[in-house]
Amino acid sequence: MQTEIILAGFGGQGILFAGQLLAYAAMDAGREVTWIPSYGPEMRGGTANCTVIISEEEIGAPTVRNPKAALVFNLPSFDKYEPLVLPGGVLIANASLINRSFQRSDLTTVMLPANEIAEALGDKRMTNMVMLGALLQKLPVLSFAAVEKTLQDHLPSRHKHLLAMNFEALKRGAEFAERGVQTTIPNEQVTFNE
Amino acid sequence: MVTTIPYQIVYSRPESFSEVSTHYCPGCTHGIAHRLIAEVLDEMGLREKTIGVAPVGCSVFAYNYFNCDFVEAAHGRAPAMATGIKRVLPDRTVFTYQGDGDLASIGMAEIMHAAARGENITVVFINNAIYGMTGGQMAPTSLPGQKTTSSPRGRDVETTGFPVRMAEILSKLDGVGYSVRRSLHDPKNIRLSKKAIRMAFEVQSRGLGFAIVELLSTCPTNWGMTPKEALHWVEDRMIPVFPLGDYKITSSVAGIRV
Amino acid sequence: MARELLKGNIAMAEASIRAGVEAYFGYPITPQTELLEWMSLRMPELGRAFLQAESEVAAINMVYGAACTGKRVMSSSSSPGVSLMMEGLSYIAGTEVPVVLIDVVRGGPGLGNIAPSQGDYNQIVHGGGHGDYHAIVLAPASVQEAIDLTVLAFDLAEKYRAICIVLADGNVGQMMEPAELPPMLPLDRPVPDWAVQGAQGRERRILSSIYLKPEDEEVTNIRLLERWQTIEANEVRFKEYYLEDAEIAVIGFGSAGRVAYSAVRAARAEGIRVGLLRPITVSPFPSARIAELASQVRAFLVAEMNTGQMLADVQLAVSGRAPVEFYGRLGGVVPFPDEILTEIQRIAYRPMTMNGDPRRSWLKRLKSQME
């Protein structure tokens, strides 16, 4: 069995790196994995997406029509991938940039204001880690410990000072997903008690 | 009684020249240019460390006439091929020998960029204002009004543009250490040409950048002239369009004494 | 060595370095640019030659010159750039010097797009440059294979004084997968006895592709052909999956082969006896193995990311002894496994005929699927 995860949104939202983090963590855990970006001219400031496939055996196609999970960071990606996720799959959506609710009821879904959660942490660039935290909570394909270890090993050295914040972002995304809060309200301010 | 008359060899085949007859037409100055290069390679002791790059054109068989390692390039690509050789064997001497169609038409990009990079190679450029090998078509260096088999009414600058002056053009590039024009139409100019070729190889051996010698040359066959008329045509018609001179000699090159 | 998560383009670049490439000449073009960028960083720090040429025309001629010295040399490009290199490749073939080229194929013709494609199969496998020659062509489907085949490319090119092309596509170039790089080879190869490095203490050597007398060129063409026949006898490589008891054989190379692998696995899970043959050398082509399969299977399905270019080679090998069906996506579109699974199901559950050009029926199905 393999698990396919699509991460999609605008360029600059850290989508490709979040996908690579999953891929590194899968490799470190001894699994087979592929990471493939859509690398069109749209990568410059436009739509960015990548597909990560994690498996116990040799992986065939690195792209699939219907992924097991999707992590969508904006409305166009939400519109595109909500219909495509496999029944019973996982869909994590970024409420900060999405102004409608889920249409499917056969999925495990989380709608979280990832931008605001990241901003509350002090750095909007943590949006991707918040989203990833929510995914890992709902899709136990890799352990948090494994992802955190990988983050420690592969975060570029110039960003090493942000390691603790990255961990915290993962945790807050996971906490939000765990509480089962689903919101359709954009820009909802969320505060956490430390 | 036997008497020995003392003698001194004043003229012989350079070691860098192969013992074969060339295929060039009577009166063509390619043979002179070849010999000058061979003499310079001998004088500088470079024969065994030199790799020549032959072009496509009348001098396509240049590799048969030089007694050193040689490769044969695609049309116009000799500077690129020479670049490839020089980059992996920087301590060898690499030179290209190219005609005007090869260097100034189809190979314009390769020569310009080799020069711009300051590729440390020597280029000997034979400008005879015509395509020789294919039978006398218009070249980028053909003179205004010059009749060729592809400009039968004479080169019309309105539709085919103007002669390209390579020595001047290349002199504007910072990578060039030496860019001059000489002529092969009489003994005095042949001596000056040899000196320029020597300089162009000295520039390479000192690592002073790209060096090119443009040599005005004859093509009696395709010009439809006798060899003698052709030499006069170089002097009377070509030199006014392609003035002889030093277009670039960088200060470090100017210090070379040979 | 440990597995690292490597991007295909960078993996091929580093594999070339480990294999002892001494000079790289190239020109930026998507989707292979990371390869050139990696070389621009690594080659100078190793004291090896790197140059960004003014064009692909110049790049391949720099490669030609450097190859004449007997050094391991290479270039890389993508489809439109490779078109520009065809002149140089022909001269290299005619001069019989070893060269490695990596082609990360994109959608075409013309400027096309930068998405993964296999539209250059005919250009690369069946010629491209003028004159009578063959190149060895290796088709990786994964990052690990891209590494292994790049290393092999240098050995084969040198062994046969031939051009060896790694025919990748945008997917292989852009994908990241765990893979293992080979150890760094020392640069201590002897100078080949044909190389020009200056005639020190020996007769001068000439490297040229000119044989002005037709009789001499004929002898050269015979020499090249006989060498090619040796290559055909010794160097055919392919990978098989589930073919032992297969009634249907899917054939696909590179990325299409990999998509087909997913489809074949899914079909097997449904109980369909289907297998996959994935050519690793698309030139020389595994014709003999396909001919053998023609007496075993009920039908073939060729899957490509073009309009059926390898299809013709499969049809030649099968020689009408079994139906050959075709499925392709075009212009940079990569098929999903379910598309090929549908084709396998169609062949498994419906009677096959051998009537007509399989491309006609495929195009009908494709167009109705696009509506």
Mean pLDDT for chain B overall: 96
Residue A20 at interface with chain C, using a CB cutoff of 8 Å: yes
Instruction: Give, for B203, the enclosing helix (H) or strand (E).
Output: helix B187-205
- Tell me if the pTM is above 0.95: no
**Domain count across chain A:** 1
- The whole-number pLDDT of residue A191 equals 41
- Lowest pLDDT segment from A173-187, B27-41, B91-105, B125-139: A173-187
Residue C239: both structure tokens together = 């990978």
Range 14-33 of B in CB contact (< 8 A) with C: none
Query: What gap in Å lies between CA B149 and CA B137, rounded to an integer?
Result: 5
- The whole-number pLDDT of residue A12 equals 84
Choose which CATH entry (3.40.50.150, 3.40.50.720, 3.30.420.40, 3.40.50.970) describes domain C4-234: 3.40.50.970
Residue type, C266: A
- The whole-number pLDDT of residue A190 equals 42
| Residue B105: closest CA among B86, B125, B85 | B125
Q: Which tens digit of pLDDT belongs to each residue from C279-300?
A: 999 999 999 999 999 999 999 9
Write the ipTM: 0.93
| Residue C292: closest CA among C237, C233, C249 | C249
Residue C124 at interface with chain A, using a CB cutoff of 8 Å: no
Q: Which tens digit of pLDDT belongs to each residue from B167-189?
A: 999 999 999 999 999 999 999 99
| Residue C258: closest CA among C303, C290, C294 | C303
According to CATH, the topology of domain C238-370 is Rossmann fold (3.40.50)
Determine how many CB atoms are found less than 10 A away from the CB of residue B146: 20
Kind of pairing, strands C281-283 and C136-138?
antiparallel
Residues of chain A with pLDDT under 50: 42-44, 182-194
Residue C334 at interface with chain A, using a CB cutoff of 8 Å: yes
- The whole-number pLDDT of residue A43 equals 46
pLDDT, greater one: A42 or B201: B201
Report yes or no on chains A and C touching (3+ CB pairs under 8 A). yes
Inter-chain touch C174–A41, beta carbons under 8 Å: no
Under DSSP, the state recorded for A162 is G
Asked if the structure places residue A192 within a domain, the reply is no
What percentage of chain A exceeds 90 in pLDDT? 79
The whole-angstrom distance between A35's CA and the closest CA on chain C is 5
pLDDT of C234 > 50? The answer is yes
pLDDT of B165 > 80? The answer is yes
Query: What gap in Å lies between CA B215 and CA B190, rounded to an integer?
Result: 9
Do C4-234 and C238-370 share a fold? yes
Q: Phi and psi dihedrals of B255, rounded to 5?
A: -80, -10
Which chains neighbour A (Cβ–Cβ under 8 Å, 3 or more pairs)? C
SS (H, E, C) B155-187: CCHHHHCCCCCHHHHHHCCCCEEEEEEEECCCH
Query: What is the distance between the terminal CA atoms of chain C, rounded to a whole angstrom?
Result: 50
Is C9:C104 a contact under the CB 8 Å cutoff? yes
Evaluate the omega torsion of the peptide bond into residue C190 and state whether it is cis, within 30 degrees of 0: no
Query: What gap in Å lies between CA C236 and CA C81, rounded to an integer?
Result: 27
Which of C66, C199, C200 faces B87 most closely, judged by CB atoms?
Answer: C66
Q: Which tens digit of pLDDT belongs to each residue from C120-135?
A: 999 999 988 999 999 9
| Residue C176: closest CA among B1, A50, B186, B121 | A50
Which of A27, A40, A66 faces C5 most closely, judged by CB atoms?
Answer: A27
- The whole-number pLDDT of residue A48 equals 84
Return the residue of B nearest to C57 by Cα.
B77
Under DSSP, the state recorded for A161 is G
Residue C207 at interface with chain B, using a CB cutoff of 8 Å: yes
- The whole-number pLDDT of residue B2 equals 74
Query: What gap in Å lies between CA C252 and CA C302, rounded to an integer?
Result: 6
Residue C292 at interface with chain A, using a CB cutoff of 8 Å: no
Evaluate the omega torsion of the peptide bond into residue C284 and state whether it is cis, within 30 degrees of 0: yes
- Mutation target for A interface from C117, C142, C176: give the one with most A CBs within 10 A: C176
Residues in Cβ contact with B76 at an 8 Å cutoff, skipping those fewer than 6 apart: B55, B56, B98, B102, B103, B105, B106, B107, B108, B110
Query: What gap in Å lies between CA B69 and CA B54, rounded to an integer?
Result: 11
The helix/strand/coil state of B144 is: coil
Range 23-42 of A in CB contact (< 8 A) with C: 23-24, 27, 32-37, 39-41
Q: C202 falls in which pLDDT band (50, 70, 90)?
A: very high
Inter-chain touch C171–A65, beta carbons under 8 Å: no
Report the side by side order of strands in the sheet with B210-216.
Answer: B245-249, B176-183, B210-216, B122-127, B93-99, B50-54, B69-72, C206-207
- The whole-number pLDDT of residue A135 equals 97
Mean pLDDT for chain C overall: 96
Count how many pairs of residues, chain B against chain C, have C-beta atoms within 8 Å: 130
Q: Phi and psi dihedrals of B218, rounded to 5?
A: -105, 160
Query: What gap in Å lies between CA C360 and CA C371, rounded to an integer?
Result: 17
Q: B1 falls in which pLDDT band (50, 70, 90)?
A: low
- The residue-averaged pLDDT of B183-206 equals 98
Is B185:B234 a contact under the CB 8 Å cutoff? yes
Inter-axis angle of helices A127-138 and A15-28, nearest 10: 50
Count how many pairs of residues, chain A against chain C, have C-beta atoms within 8 Å: 61
- Lowest pLDDT segment from B3-12, C3-12, C30-39, C187-196: B3-12
Q: Phi and psi dihedrals of A57, rounded to 5?
A: -130, 175
Chain CA centroid to CA B133, Å = 16
Inter-chain touch C174–A37, beta carbons under 8 Å: yes
Residue C170 at interface with chain A, using a CB cutoff of 8 Å: yes
Residue A161 at interface with chain C, using a CB cutoff of 8 Å: no
Residue B87 at interface with chain C, using a CB cutoff of 8 Å: yes
Inter-chain touch C113–A39, beta carbons under 8 Å: no
Is C308:C256 a contact under the CB 8 Å cutoff? no
Return the residue of A nearest to C256 by Cα.
A61
- The whole-number pLDDT of residue A160 equals 87
Residues in Cβ contact with C26 at an 8 Å cutoff, skipping those fewer than 6 apart: C35, C36, C39, C52, C53, C56, C59, C75, C76, C77
Inter-chain touch A37–C262, beta carbons under 8 Å: no
Inter-axis angle of helices A127-138 and A114-121, nearest 10: 120
The helix/strand/coil state of B92 is: coil
Residues in chain A: 194
Query: What gap in Å lies between CA B132 and CA B64, rounded to an integer?
Result: 18
Determine how many CB atoms are found less than 10 A away from the CB of residue C99: 28
Is C76:C101 a contact under the CB 8 Å cutoff? yes
Could you say which architecture CATH assigns to the domain B30-254? Answer: 3-Layer(aba) Sandwich (3.40)
Residue B41 at interface with chain C, using a CB cutoff of 8 Å: no
Range of the structural domain that residue A169 is part of: 2-179
| Residue B234: closest CA among B25, B55, B27, B96 | B27
Q: B6 falls in which pLDDT band (50, 70, 90)?
A: confident
Which of B53, B63, B110 faces C58 most closely, judged by CB atoms?
Answer: B110
- Strand ranges inside chain B, DSSP E: 50-54, 69-72, 93-99, 122-127, 176-183, 210-216, 245-249
Report the side by side order of strands in the sheet with C73-77.
Answer: C49-52, C23-26, C73-77, C99-105, C163-169, C136-138, C281-283
Which of C22, C71, C88 faces B74 most closely, judged by CB atoms?
Answer: C88
Range 48-87 of C in CB contact (< 8 A) with A: none
Instruction: Give, for C344, the enclosing helix (H) or strand (E).
Output: helix C337-349
Q: Phi and psi dihedrals of C79, rounded to 5?
A: -30, -60
Inter-chain touch A36–C175, beta carbons under 8 Å: yes
CA distances from C303 to C59, C264, C340 (A): 33, 12, 8
Provide, as residue numbers in chain C, all residues whose Cβ is less than 8 Å from the Cβ of A34: 175-177
Which of C66, C198, C200 faces B84 most closely, judged by CB atoms?
Answer: C66
Asked if the structure places residue A121 within a domain, the reply is yes
Q: CATH number of the domain that A45 lies in?
A: 3.40.920.10
Query: What gap in Å lies between CA C150 and CA C137, rounded to an integer?
Result: 11
Inter-chain touch C175–A58, beta carbons under 8 Å: no
Query: What gap in Å lies between CA A18 and CA B12, rounded to an integer?
Result: 76
Residue C146 at interface with chain A, using a CB cutoff of 8 Å: no
Determine how many CB atoms are found less than 10 A away from the CB of residue A64: 21
Chain CA centroid to CA A2, Å = 17
Return the residue of B nearest to C200 by Cα.
B48
Provide, as residue numbers in chain A, all residues whose Cβ is less than 8 Å from the Cβ of C115: 40
Report yes or no on chains B and C touching (3+ CB pairs under 8 A). yes
Asked if the structure places residue A146 within a domain, the reply is yes
- The residue-averaged pLDDT of C302-330 equals 97
Asked if the structure places residue A186 within a domain, the reply is no
Q: Would you list the domain boundaries of chain C?
A: 4-234, 238-370
Provide, as residue numbers in chain C, all residues whose Cβ is less than 8 Å from the Cβ of A23: 5, 176
Determine how many CB atoms are found less than 10 A away from the CB of residue A148: 16
